[in-house]
Amino acid sequence: MSPTRVTSRTTQLETAELADGDDWILKTLAKKTYNLSDADLEALKPVGIERNPHGGRHPMVKYSLREVRALVRRLEDASRAGSASSGTDELAKPNGASILHSTAKKRYLLSSEQLSSIKPVSIKPNPHGGPVPMKHYNLCDVEALADRVNAARAPPSPAKGPADAVQSTLAGPSTPPPAKRRRKVAGGSYYHDDDPNPFDGMSPDAAKAKMSRILRRLGANAPK
């Protein structure tokens, strides 16, 4: 079987090849037969994705039966190891509200590996009979972990190089632009002007006299 890709409105899934001698199993049947959750099956890549023949919005996903059974064995081994080391020294002290492992993964986009870096406050057998125990964590611990993960995902801010430092020094301290002058026009309204007017605030006669002096001065300095 060659790799296939099926695209829906909101997600894009890519499939792997089914090995010779292997068989496939539907996702819904794998969950029901082996008490697996969607989060458990995220560790596997599907071998086939088809449009839902019943018209549902979710595609029909197929997995390798061999890989599903291997996943179940790994989960059972992890469950036994977790039960053997679930003493009080392996648990965190309760601190406020708690959150379920699967809920923490969905809400804060965390992986099982990332959640393994913090201690749960409780580990109990799966009430649905699944191979994975039910873990609760302190909500504050999960939120702190999510903050650290998001900070690591964020791209680093570009560091200033020597050229930037020289340019900053040459530019000197930034100074605000000069304030615009407000001039009164007909009707009592105002407008702003960047260039000062030498006749602002003068009466018509005074402005006329000043203009005459300027013209005389320009005429006296004109080349002959």
Is residue 55 left, alpha or beta, with left meaning phi > 0 and alpha meaning psi from -120 to 50?
A: left
Residue 83 has pLDDT above 80, yes or no: no
Digit-coded pLDDT (tens) for 23-63: 999 999 999 898 888 888 888 889 899 888 888 788 889 99
Indicate if the alpha-carbon torsion angle 34, 36, 41, 43 is positive or negative: negative
Strand partners for 4 = none
Residue 143 identity: E
What radius of gyration, in Å, describes the C-alpha atoms of the chain?
Answer: 37
Tell me which DSSP letter residue 88 carries: G
- The mean pLDDT of the chain is 75
Residue 147 has pLDDT above 80, yes or no: yes
* 47, 63 contact by CB (below 8 A): yes
Digit-coded pLDDT (tens) for 191-214: 555 556 667 777 788 778 888 888
Domain positions in the chain are 9-84, 85-152
* 27, 45 contact by CB (below 8 A): no
Alpha-carbon distance of 40 to 102, in angstroms, equals: 10
